[in-house]
Amino acid sequence: MPDACVKLDYTLACADAVGPHGLAPSDFDSDALARIYDQARRVAPQWGFTQLPARLDSADALVGLGDTLAKECDDFVVIGIGGSALGNITLHASLNPPSYNLASREARGDRPRIHVPDNVDPVLIASLLDTLVPERTCVNVIAKSGSTAETLANFLVVRALLEQGVGAGWTDHVVFTTDPEKGALRALGRELGIRMLEVPPNVGGRFSVLSPVGLLSASVEGIEVKALLQGAQAMLERCQCADWRANPAFFNAVLHYLFDVRKGVRMNVMMPYAQSLREIADWFRQLWAESLGKCVDRSGQPIECGLTPIKALGATDQHSQVQLYVEGPPDKFTTFLHVDQFPVTTTITPAFKDEAAFAYLGGRTLNELLHAEEKATRAALAKAGRPSVTISLPAVNAYYLGQLLFMFELQTAYAGELYNIDAFDQPGVEQGKIFTYALMGRDGYADARRELEGMQLSNPQCVIA
């Protein structure tokens, strides 16, 4: 594996670079941070996701199943939502060309098309069904609990298509990824003899991208699963250092925490300068928001903490959001994702040399332009006194992506320690699930239905016709 690594540059987060909105040495209570870090290091082995990079031996079986499924289908559909889908989308978008599904099977390395609908929008699902040939479609149904309404609904819809096309053999086209012992999917899989993979019981959905949740679809499309895990392992080892200042995941968590509690900066912008990394910001939004948005701390005291994650893309959002970031409220901290080397170099063909607007571009490359746009945006924010950090990848490949994803997972868990909250539960999400079950008539939710009826969600006096 390469010696290079993902790097964190926090120069433009410092007060001497961006002025009063940046962090000064006096903002860091080193003794307190060292105590929190020592505690985090003691509990980190209990975080289930930290055990995933070491599962290289089990990766062979997963890759074997992925290769088998790739031969069995032309379309591979991942049915899941949230943490059971966003990691798959991120791996697919980051490590394949944007035109992957449009290319010929030969150009895809004899691999199937990949679909991750991640919603129950009726138009979205109907449109997908119209493109599928049941005899050449395989489906991975992912739900750790085995009872997620959106996942089971989409499964029932797609199952009907498969049964119509292949009859009783539809079960051969399906793989369940769920809890190893309990839940509706596990029970149904046992009953019908469906192939099944396990979601580790101590790994939550938003931390599961490096488990079978994310790695099966990666294997199907030929992504180097072992390289992903090796990259994650390299980051894990790098983050086991004794000094908190040398741990990039903890240090970045500290920066975000201090910008919140010292500067009132509660919006976290992630801005990749690589189209391939665009979906990482989506994946990170769930990881960050669901983990840190909590109303009480571990002692039950009110806290109402949480940094709002915002998705941006360079250079696209220089012409969309950056005006707000430069001149709007100073309540945002930006994370830039930088890529040293792109897999291709695209030259700007010289033309119209007598026109100044064209002349300077000719002979340069789009690679140079994108890097210049990134540097210019960082500089514009710094000039306006707006802080940022830059995370650099030597290249976008499975090894460095494994490092990056694992670093963000660790960073999120460390942030939970800094806020003294449980970063691994999601009670606000659970309440919405309960109300959904009640509205859809699931047995056992009559009390929730009555509560909803008393809330008067639709007040005719407030409706604009």
Whether 368 sits among the annotated catalytic residues: the reply is: no
- Choose the catalytic residue: 290, 374, 409, 417: 290
Q: Following DSSP, what letter does each residue of 101-119 receive, concatenated?
A: GGS-TTTTTS--EEE---S
> Going by DSSP bridges, is the β-strand pair 113-115/75-79 parallel, antiparallel, or unpaired?
parallel
CB atoms inside a 10 Å sphere around CB 133: 11
Two structure tokens written together for 409: 């997972």
Q: Residue 189 burial (CB < 10 Å; 0-12/13-18/19+)?
A: buried
CA distances from 423 to 39, 287, 290 (A): 15, 9, 8
| Angle made by CA atoms 141, 147, 151, in degrees to the nearest 5 | 40
* DSSP element (H, E) containing 221: none
Whether 294 sits among the annotated catalytic residues: the reply is: no
Tell me phi and psi for residue 273, to 5 degrees: -105, 60
Q: What's the distance, CA 319 to chain centroid?
A: 24
Whether 290 sits among the annotated catalytic residues: the reply is: yes
| Per-residue buried b or exposed e for 147-156, using 16+ beta carbons within 10 Å of the residue's own CB | bbbbbbebbe
CB atoms inside a 10 Å sphere around CB 247: 24
Query: Do 126 and 161 meet the contact criterion of CB atoms below 8 Å apart?
Result: no
Alpha helices (H) along 22-138? 30-43, 56-72, 86-95, 122-131
CA–CA separation, 366 and 345 (whole Å): 7
Two structure tokens written together for 286: 């769930």
- Choose the catalytic residue: 7, 371, 375, 433: 433
Tell me phi and psi for residue 410, to 5 degrees: -65, -45
For CA atoms 131, 133, 111, 173, give the dihedral sign: positive
Rounded to a whole number, what is the distance in angstroms from the first to the last CA of the chain?
62
CA distances from 95 to 90, 177, 277, 445 (A): 8, 22, 9, 43
Nearest partner of 194 among 151, 159, 145, judged by Cα: 159
Query: Do 282 and 86 meet the contact criterion of CB atoms below 8 Å apart?
Result: yes
Amino acid symbol at 258: L
CB atoms inside a 10 Å sphere around CB 160: 13
CA–CA separation, 59 and 57 (whole Å): 5
Two structure tokens written together for 119: 């919603």
Point out the residues that are catalytic: 290, 319, 433
